[in-house]
Structure 1
């Protein structure tokens, strides 16, 4: 019998992937890819080798999916950023399931550094970026490495779509450092 936590994690990853593909207009009404060879398709990552490359690839983002009762957001963000680096993507983010809510209400967490890099690539002022995509700030004490920003998966889908429209995949000079 499969590990029940592994099954829950896999279901959450698949729900995120399916939601993003639908929101980004990459699938038909049955969930079938419009163009299976399109590099913009959101996919669950196959693990290769010893370095984890994250759970979901939604270029230019690597998503680390979390379906747990106890949050450890700063630790998860560091994990996501490391996995993005392993995968060769500029941004690592965490998507945490909200119990009893639709997939769209999942919480997307990013570091202040990642948030700033995305905002600058989009050429948006801080206030406009925060308001347009519903970002809220979590400050954890004086240690800035524990500070992060949060939005919903619904709003993050708009971030992904807008980023892809404004910054062609593989082009961002500022994002890849």
Structure 2
């Protein structure tokens, strides 16, 4: 890849995919998928041009992965929402690399409405949901469209596992 920033972004997407697959127990000791046909494998889809489907698919989430110096979380979240819709997924979130930190420390940002929808699927109160998955609020000004909830990728992995279990509960 000629573009250094694109290469850094692609590496971050791969790091997020690999971390989640390993942490969810979807790969063997060598990092090879246990069942390549399992719909729950975390994947990096081929890019679709104008109808981009996001950087990483972790059913039921589309992850918009960012490795940038300058944060614009509300913009990232709008992009994640559009890409989730293109991919046919119910939720889009942004995953931002923290410089010089382990992948599991990456920040996962949820728009407040997405956060609420996920919380309701899990049947948790706002306080219980925030505590269980270590969410912190970023309330920027009076425009609630700029507000978002943030956790680390390690906590998101637990949330993802719980969401998948809730979707398969009787």
TM-score bucket of the superposed structures, by smaller chain: over 0.9
SS at 1:20 equivalent: helix
**Unaligned residue ranges in structure 2 (runs of 5+):** none
| Structure 1: distance between partners of 2:12 and 2:23 | 16
Aligned to 1:75: 75
CA offsets 1:40-91 (integer angstroms, 9 cap, x no match): 0000011235301000000000000000000000010010001000000000
Asked whether 1:46 is paired with 2:46, we answer yes
Aligned to 1:23: 23
| Structure 1: distance between partners of 2:107 and 2:124 | 22
| Structure 2: distance between partners of 1:101 and 1:93 | 20
**Unaligned residue ranges in structure 1 (runs of 5+):** 170-177
Task: Tell me the TM-score normalized by structure 1.
Answer: 0.93
| Structure 1: distance between partners of 2:49 and 2:4 | 25
| Structure 1: distance between partners of 2:125 and 2:77 | 23
| Structure 2: distance between partners of 1:168 and 1:12 | 30
| Structure 1: distance between partners of 2:127 and 2:152 | 17
Aligned to 2:105: 105
1:167 shift after superposition: 1.2
Alpha carbons 1:43, 1:58 under 8 Å: kept: yes
**What is the aligned-residue RMSD (CA, Å)?**
1.1
| Structure 1: distance between partners of 2:48 and 2:101 | 32
Alpha carbons 1:45, 1:53 under 8 Å: kept: yes
| Structure 1: distance between partners of 2:9 and 2:49 | 21
SS at 1:50 equivalent: helix
| Structure 2: distance between partners of 1:92 and 1:20 | 16
After TM superposition, list the pairs within 5 Å mapping 1:17-166 onto structure 2.
17-166=17-166
Aligned length: 169
Q: Give the 4+ runs in structure 1 shifted more than 4 A.
A: none
